[in-house]
Amino acid sequence: MSVSSLPFIDLNAQRARIGTAIDAGLLRVAAHGQYILGPEVKALEADLNAFCGAKHCISVANGTEALAMPLMAKGLKPGDAVFCPSFTFAATAEVVAWLGAIPVFVDVHPDTFNINVDSLASGIREAKAKGLHPKAIIAVDLFGQPADYDAIEALAVEHGLWVMSDAAQSFGATYRTRKVGTIGLVTATSFFPSKPLGCYGDGGAIFTDDDEMAATLRSLRVHGQGSDKYDNVRIGLNARLDTMQAAVLIEKLKILADEIDARERVAQRYSSMLHDVVPVPHLLPDISSAWAQYTVLVPAAKRALIIARLKEQGVPTMVYYPKPLHRQTAYRDFPVVGNGLPVSERLADEVLSLPMHPYLDDATQDRIVSTFRQALKDL
């Protein structure tokens, strides 16, 4: 008997809800023809600011450029050190290396998977002792949960560093009284299709309350332009968000809060049915997640078998991330805090993400949970 395969993220279900409105938006752009920085781009930036409460929003071509541009704006130089977790997507550290600066890899907490502030404090001390120039911290809101910014910002103030939030997975989440987009000097997010707020291709945005940072980012986005198009006051790049993508995002943003509520319900339900057999996601008090992923831990030795068993039963899973960055060929020569990053390494062997999206109904979720529980028991 063959079983039907479930989607890991069901974008078709979302299309069934708002596809007509999205398509109408795309056709409007096709008709007015302002494909580059058209009116939808400005409208989206205003909508995003209204949603999260940031003063400035600069939409960009993707989340990686959203991370790189604030580093460029701050004039990051070779020899400067930027602290980031090792258990993250490569883009977090990649942008630091682009500028010839040094990503210093910090360990994460075993329960939240986010940057460990004790490890961060050690990293700052060690970097100074080595003669590096600590400049910034990039905290990652992994799987949608904001990092512990109160503690991170206290450390940043103590050492004169600035903070960027890699919110590629967390737009729509909150940290205590603050919404993601208003935390740190600057926040970078991604609209890659599988993120909680995704477009129909690549996209991203940068948020800041700092007027000078915002002006510099707007200039960088268009080749470092000055007072007019053919005045170049700095080395920039081409990092504009397409008007077509802005049109898609305008419609999707209207239902984002509702979708995050739905994700929250799915996550709670998963946890209530799984907490007795595996470690389930742990949120800090007064923090909400955007639930980009729902990730549990399974015994390392059994993970491959569990994945295979679930796949046979039509249940897709993902491993985010199978290798921490300090173990990747491209990044292995950069400094790591202490004698290694044991938590990042263990998590890479144990994490398993289950299907997560706002349209996961109870019956489907029950099927995923019972298949998973059975696989755990059998293996």
Binding site residues, ligand PLP, CB under 6 A: 62-64, 88-89, 91-92, 140, 166, 168-169, 190, 192, 202, 204
Residue, CB closest to ligand PLP = 63
Cα 348 to Cα 139: distance, rounded to the nearest angstrom: 18
Beta strands in 61-132 (DSSP E): 80-85, 102-106
Q: Which is nearer to ligand PLP, 190 or 313 (CB)?
A: 190
Which residues does 377 contact at the CB level (< 8 Å), separation at least 6?
Answer: none
What would the two tokens of residue 215 be?
């002006």
Cβ closest to ligand PLP, residue 119 vs residue 165: 165
Beta bridge partners of 317: none
Closer CB to ligand PLP, residue 64 or residue 208? Answer: 64
Residue among 124 and 206 whose Cβ is closer to ligand PLP? 206
Q: Residue 307: which residues within 8 A CB-CB, separation 6 or more?
A: 317, 319, 352
**For ligand PLP, which is the closer residue by CB, 201 or 314?**
201
CB of 91 to ligand PLP, least distance (A): 4
Q: Which is nearer to ligand PLP, 103 or 204 (CB)?
A: 204
And the tokens for 255? 């239902």
Which residues have CB under 8 Å from 102's CB, separation 6+?
A: 79, 80, 81, 82, 96, 132, 334, 335
How many angstroms separate the CA atoms of 31 and 7, rounded? 34
Tokens encoding 277: 């057999």
Structure tokens at 175: 């940290």
C-beta of residue 177 within 8 angstroms of C-beta of residue 216: no
